[in-house]
Structures are given as C-alpha cells and as structure tokens.
Amino acid sequence: MTNQPKHVVSKKWLLARLYEPDLVVVDCRFQLGKPASGQETYAESHIPRAVYVDLERDLSAPISEHGGRHPLPDVETLAERLGRAGISRESRVVAYDDQGGAMASRLWWVLRYLGHEQVYVMEEGYSAWVRDGYPTTADQPVVVPTAYEAAPRPDMLVGVERVREVALHGGAVLIDSRDPERYRGEVEPLDRKAGHIPGAINRVWSAGRREDGTWKSPEEQRARFADLPQDGEIIVYCGSGVTATPNVLALQEAGFANVKLYGGSWSDWISYSKNPIATGDE
C-alpha cells in the first residue's frame, strides 16, 4: 500500500499549478447557520482563479419530508450546476474551505460520485493559505460554462432501506462521523432527536487531520480504522451527509474500497418515526 495521499494536495502543490488551463480551483467555504457567509468571504478574498460553489445552493436539494438537511440533488441537476461553474469531466479540480475540509470533501465526494477521477482537497484550508503569504484576490474569474457529462457510480451511495437492513441484521460496518456527545445522544444541536443508528460505531470525522490542520497520511488513516474489515462494506453517515465525506475520503486513503455514503444521514434516519434509535456507547 502506498503512503502517498491520492485525494489530498498541499498548498505548495496547488500554488505550482495555479495557472494551468485545465485546473479549476473551487472555494467551498460555508458555515452552518450562516448560509450567506461563504459567498461573502469569497467576495472579500479567495485563491486566484477560484470559483465559488455553495453547499446549500449548489450541492444540496431543497429540504422535504425525507432526505435529511442537505439532500443530494439528482445527477442531472448536479451536472448542470458543475458545468455552470466551468467544471468539465476533463478538469482537474482542487477544492478548499476553512471548515477542516468538510465542505471541500462534500464537493470531492459529489464529483467522485459523478465519475470524476481528478478531484482533490487542499489540506489546511484558506486561512493557512493566507497565513503563509500565498496570493489572494477579490477579483472574480470569468467563468465559461461547459457541459458536465456525468457517469454516476450508484454503488457509492446508499439509502435508508439498506441502512435499516444493516441496523437490524448486520452485514456491513456503520460509521457515525459526528462528535462523540452527539453520537451518544447527550446533546443534539441541529436535529430534533438525539442518539445514533443502532449498531453504528463512532469515528469522528475531524480525527482524520493532525492538530496543525494537515491531513493524516494513508498509514495514519489505516491506524484509525485498523479494527475494520478491509474488504467489507462500510457505510458512513453524519448529521446530514456533509461531515461524513471527510471520513469517506480518509477510508479511501487508507485503502478501503467498499465505502458508501448514507446521503441523508441522521437527519433522514429520524424522519421515519419507526426507525430505532440507540444512545450511549455501542
């Protein structure tokens, strides 16, 4: 197994390629509860040539009875929005945020789900880019819309039916990516019910990074998940399908191939009144 990251690039790597024509840099900054903040901070300053993609307007569908707080749009809608941002299947895409990689990883996952190979997350985030004196601008690039030709990978995504089956009968590893207090049901700041899906284990998503904000190496990620079966099915969820995606990325870096996202996550699970809820540690 390689110890070189496949899905994460350094600031230095991006700086060296910043003006290569096939590269699309995407600013994904977003704060839950402050939906305008990402667009506002992008307008103030961003990495040169970066376009802005919004978690809720671009990477989520409208909220309905089921599907969670950030439902995934259908493939055609995602493709149209990506094409509007100037992203084609031939683009090399680097996503960044200032939220520990959570928002950038959502775009990374969406593109991988649509069949995109060359998509990466910049480690550390925008504040580290600024801190190290790398170039910034308030100028917004001229975006030439293109057609994004999606080749979706449905095996990367599961719905509530499969998760319900696993919760009741096993057959896969369920990973809850939220903070331990939310997993145990001690607090719930965002959703109307507290707890976790029965049988799920807790692996908080932020543990995929070191204290300095850099991503852990593939070897370190393998150590995080050393107790999991390398070839078994792994289903990852969080509150709404966003902070689960850094764990999906980390698992892929660690060499796990059969990793799936429960797109609706906890906020979808609790929208079904008959779904069981567990509290405490498993």
Active site residues: 238
CA atoms of 101 and 205, how far apart (whole Å): 10
- Contact indicator for 247, 208 with CB cutoff of 8 Å: yes
Sequence-distant (6+) residues with CB within 8 A of 40 are none
CA-CA-CA-CA torsion for 240, 246, 247, 252, nearest 10 degrees? 130
Tokens standing for residue 71: 């439902």
Integer CA distances (angstroms), 266 to 108, 210, 262, 274, in order: 21, 26, 9, 14
Per-residue burial over 94-114, b = 16 or more CB atoms within 10 Å of its CB, e = otherwise: bbbbbbbbbbbbbbbbbbbbb
- β-bridge mates for residue 2, sequence order: none
Closest Cα partner for 45 from 140, 143, 116, 179? 140
